[in-house]
Chain A
Amino acid sequence: DIVMTQSPDSLAVSLGERATINCKSSQNILYSSNNKDYLAWFQQKPGQPPKLLISWASTRESGVPDRFSGSGSGTDFTLTISSLQAEDVAVYYCQQYYSVPYIFGQGTKLEIK
């Protein structure tokens, strides 16, 4: 299985400041035939299902604010929120979809400082 490890487990950032969440996979999730990283980022607010924010490591889904960005390749990935808003308080998960079983990171809880 490909294990996904996020850091930190929790993070407190001031409004308007940058938030950075890291995700590391135990194996390369870059598929060489199409040069795509099979890495997604989700946002989950209390009482809600996860919401897909970013696919292919760096492609924002429709309607996702451009303050959210994803980067990285191979085994190391980052989700960045450039200017934290109050509505961004949530738990964030990375997930590999390179191979079965699909594995999520343990989550990073993002709060306002």
Chain B
Amino acid sequence: QVQLQESRPGLLKPAQTLSLICTVSGGSINSGSYFWSWIRQPAGKGLEWIGRMYTSGRTDYNPSLKSRVTISMDTSKNQFSLNLNSVTDADTATYYCARMTGSGLFDYWGQGTLVTVSS
């Protein structure tokens, strides 16, 4: 059973960089066939796809965040990461990491981590 767990960065100030790590267990992120994604959800609101990374190094980002986002992978630790720079209050949300099949289905999700941006 694949499990994903997000790190907990907690509170950030505006203009800082959000850094999150997703640790995957029960399967290798280097196994091919899957993308590794980040999705966020402001409190009481809907889901926003942030981006994805394949083991080849290929990345795709939501155009609404593309200028501020980087997703990377550390296969030796079975982890992938999200960096979001120049955060504002609007980036306050629960951030989820998820596995995506080659078809585009989000089949496994982490429990989510709340990130708050406040001065």
A interface residues with partner B (beta carbon < 8 Å): 1, 38, 40, 42, 48-52, 55, 61, 93, 95, 97-98, 100-107
Number of interface residues of B (CB under 8 A): 19
B interface residues with partner A (beta carbon < 8 Å): 46-49, 60, 62-64, 96, 98, 103-107, 109-112
Contact A50 B104 (CB under 8 A): no
Q: Out of B47, B106, B110, B111, which one reaches A52, CB within 8 Å?
A: B106
- A to B contact number (C-beta, < 8 Å): 49
Distance of A104 from chain B, by nearest CB (Å): 4
Interface majority SS (helix, strand, loop, mixed), chain A:
loop
A42 to B62, CA, bound (A): 20
Q: Out of A49, A93, A106, which one reaches B110, CB within 8 Å?
A: A49
Contact B96 A49 (CB under 8 A): yes
A100 nearest in chain B by CB position = B60
